[in-house]
Amino acid sequence: MPELPEVETTRRGVEPYSAGQTIKRVIVRNPSLRWPVPASLPRKLRGQQVTAVERRAKYLLFRTAAGSMMIHLGMSGSLRVVDAREPPGKHDHIDIVFEGGRCLRYNDPRRFGCCLWLGPGESHDLLEGLGPEPLGPDFDGDLLFRRSRGRKVPVKQFVMDGKVVVGVGNIYANEALFQAGIRPDRPAGRISRARYERLAEEIKRVLTFAINQGGTTLRDFVGGDGKPGYFAQQLFVYGREGEPCKRCQRMLKKSTLGQRTTVYCVACQR
């Protein structure tokens, strides 16, 4: 499933070809995504200019004066920019066709993503109650420390809770905890403020690095598959169970927390 860096890379990839463009028409070939695509979407978007392409958590928001189109890529979704005359493929469910002939095409083999509509000034239940953005000014170690008091849940599950902070998915939680030297199974409420300050810094650093790595694939959004690559070659722990730690050479351990695979170093993390 695309995580925050991949969604942000998608936003950066399609924004130059969407922002400031006027929508000529919208083609919905298959409205049966995770939630039905609103039947009124083509009518509401026709003739509108995209004023901004924003991201909130893992949701993309295409702003217009009439309202906003909200897209989630689900487990297998992608967006790419193509010539509107290019024949659609089997899983190309939605086309946003701009004046001038370019087209923003939504592809989703598993159809677990969504494309919804928000009226002017409206929010959505999916956006309500979300925590701060991890790369924004409202996120820091003090916030993690305060929200963790009295919590017995493992710290990895705590930082992956979207009500605490959005977008810290499984891959990046593993990596940030390793870099901060914190065992992922430690109770969240038993970690000091100083260690949370370090963890917040590592979350920001790991996510920023991943976004910058994804930036090298921006060309893929034009005529390519629209899927930014993970920075797998840079991973220290995720997916490396049974391999030696890159720092101390001890074998990495694997466990399951919250039904998610967790890999850590018993020597470097405590």
Residues marked active site are found at 2-3, 58, 260
Q: How many residues does the chain have?
A: 270
How far apart are the C-alpha atoms of 49 and 51, rounded to whole Å? 6
257's tokens: 């927390």
Backbone angles phi, psi at 156, to 5 degrees: -65, -45
**47 vs 31: CA distance, rounded Å:** 21
124 assigned ligand-binding residue = no
Residue closest to 164 by CA, chosen among 177, 179, 151, 178: 151
| Phi then psi dihedrals of residue 268, to 5 deg | -85, -20
72 known ligand binder: no
User: What's the CA gap between 115 and 74, in Å, rounded?
Assistant: 10
Looking up tokens 């009500």 gives 163
Let me know: does 254 contact 263? Beta carbons within 8 Å.
yes
Q: Consult the annotation and say whether 110 binds a ligand.
A: yes
* Distance between CA atoms of residues 170 and 105, nearest Å: 28
For residue 145, give the H/E element and its range.
helix 141-148
Classify residue 158 as exposed, middle or buried by CB count within 10 Å of its CB (0-12, 13-18, 19+): buried
Residues comprising the binding site?
91, 110, 151
Which residues line the annotated binding site for DNA?
91, 110, 151
